[in-house]
Amino acid sequence: MRQEIIRMSKKEIKKLKVVQRVMDKQLKQKDAAGILSLTTRQVRNIIHDIKTYGDEAIIHGNRGRPSNRKYPNEFKEKILNIIRKKKFLDCGPKFTSEKLQELHEITISRETLRHWMIETGLWIPRKMRNKDDYYTWRKRKDCFGEMIQTDGSVGNWFEDRGPRAVLMAYIDDATGIPFAKFYPAEDTRAAMDSFRKYIEKYGIPQSLYFDKNSIYKTTRKANLDEELRGKEPQTQFEKAIEILNVEPIYALSAEAKGRVERLFRTFKDRLVKEMRFADVSNIEEGNSFLKDYLPEYSKRFSVFPANSKNLHREVPKDMDLTWVFAFREKRTVTRDFTIRWRNRFFLLKKQSIAIKKQRVSVLENLNDEVRIWFNGRFLEFEEITKHSLKELREKSKKTKTEIQKEPKQPWKPGPTHPWRRQNRALFQQLKR
């Protein structure tokens, strides 16, 4: 005898097993309702349907039937024929649905349209796309200095003639004018120094476009001080460009900052060979070579911007770039008026009880010079050794111990103390 096959989902199989236990008196209706997230009345109705129609009654009655809200095939073909026209070939589902409403007065949801377009090959989901087939060039910015892309590239720039180095490069998005400098490593010091050199040559740009390298974007959580001020954690480089009022823009992919990536691709071809012919073999010679090479490169490959306005700003006269591009952190003044910074110790000269346990800003510029900032002014200090700090604390501890050992003299109120005047007046009254 031929057996009948009933297809069920995992959810329906679970429901059938629970209901069968209720029918076999192994489980109460109330408990079954809790397991299936149903009411006891619904459980009784299911039991009745199974007894009447068999196990297939557990399957929803609408399975396999077309939806009552399904669009007619004629309407679907009409929409797809419109999309197949040249104007819509590179349009996404959302934009297409908007244009169908605007141009043809046809209202259809974005998701329905997306399924139809994927089904017919008129739209390829992002995960399935070949980037070379769909990539669209972003329009350049209009003005020189409106946005600068930056990145670093480590490699054998001097081939076998010298050490590996990193080239910190900047390129203007509107004109393609580059700026570059060689450094031993790609770190915060190199990023700060290269951007400072760029500003000294061209001025302060409006925005800076870079990736989420740890130099430019930190992943640590905000500390207590940052949470109280409502600020996001910042890298040392972010703190510097915030002072300069430069807008940071973070790229989400390498393709997003393609202009600087293509600059490196060109440099690795042309610049490396040019330095080979000039016998450049180290970082110092490379930076000297770039001073003449970059202007020639700009003349050949840069373009005219859409707007001739230069958005670079001059450095304010009261701003010292030496201390803008500096490492800065908060430190606490100890009880003996000392501050610790990167295993160095500083003793404040003008000591006041009001500054004890206060948070001060320690700044160290790229020349390893240190300043301490507090309450709108720089504090005077001297650097001491760890041994001197130890002697200072032992002396302070000894002095404190000696003060505690001295016998305390009983306190007597002075001749003009209010207590004496009050008692003298009372004595005169009693004498009368």
pLDDT, position 142? 92
- Average model confidence (pLDDT) for the chain? 84
Separation CA 155–CA 159 (nearest Å): 9
Separation CA 49–CA 92 (nearest Å): 47
Q: Taking 90 as the threshold, does the pLDDT of residue 175 lie above it?
A: yes
pLDDT, position 54? 80
Q: Taking 90 as the threshold, does the pLDDT of residue 199 lie above it?
A: yes
pLDDT, position 421? 66
Q: Compute how many other C-beta atoms are within 10 angstroms of the C-beta atom of residue 260.
A: 24
**Cα-based torsion angle of the residue sequence 302, 307, 308, 311 in order, rounded to the nearest 10 degrees:** -90
pLDDT, position 165? 94
283 pLDDT band, cuts 50/70/90, is: very high
Between 417 and 164, the higher pLDDT residue: 164
Q: Taking 60 as the threshold, does the pLDDT of residue 167 lie above it?
A: yes
pLDDT, position 1? 42
Show the tokens assigned to 267. 């440099």
Q: Taking 80 as the threshold, does the pLDDT of residue 408 lie above it?
A: no
- Report the predicted TM-score, pTM, of the whole model to 2 decimal places: 0.61
DSSP-assigned states of every residue in 38-69: --HHHHHHHHHHHHHH-GGGGS-TTTTSPPTT
The helix (H) or strand (E) run that includes residue 344 is strand 344-348
CB 243 within 8 A of CB 185: no
Lowest mean pLDDT among 62-71, 166-175, 180-189, 228-237: 62-71
Domains of the chain as residue ranges with CATH: 18-58 (no CATH), 82-131 (no CATH), 148-301 (3.30.420.10), 325-393 (no CATH)
What are the Cα distances from residue 373, in Å, to 227, 322, 385? Answer: 22, 15, 21
The helix (H) or strand (E) run that includes residue 355 is none
C-alpha triplet 211, 213, 215: angle, nearest 5°: 115
188 pLDDT band, cuts 50/70/90, is: very high
Q: Taking 80 as the threshold, does the pLDDT of residue 215 lie above it?
A: yes
Mean pLDDT of the region 60-68: 73
Separation CA 169–CA 211 (nearest Å): 13
pLDDT, position 207? 94
pLDDT, position 370? 93
Q: Taking 60 as the threshold, does the pLDDT of residue 132 lie above it?
A: no
DSSP-assigned states of every residue in 144-172: BTS-EEEEEEEE-TTGGGS--EEEEEEEE
118 pLDDT band, cuts 50/70/90, is: confident
* pLDDT tens per residue across span 345-370: 999 988 888 888 899 999 999 998 99
19 pLDDT band, cuts 50/70/90, is: confident
Q: Taking 90 as the threshold, does the pLDDT of residue 342 lie above it?
A: no
Nearest of 346, 344, 324 to residue 334 by alpha carbon: 346
Q: Compute how many other C-beta atoms are within 10 angstroms of the C-beta atom of residue 272.
A: 15
Mean pLDDT of the region 146-150: 94
State the amino acid at position 233 in one-letter form.
P
Tokens 């109330």 belong to: 30
pLDDT, position 424? 60
372 pLDDT band, cuts 50/70/90, is: very high
pLDDT, position 257? 82
CB 326 within 8 A of CB 366: yes
Q: What is the DSSP letter of 144?
A: B
Separation CA 359–CA 330 (nearest Å): 6
Mean pLDDT of the region 140-162: 92
Show the tokens assigned to 291. 């001073």
Mean pLDDT of the region 303-307: 92
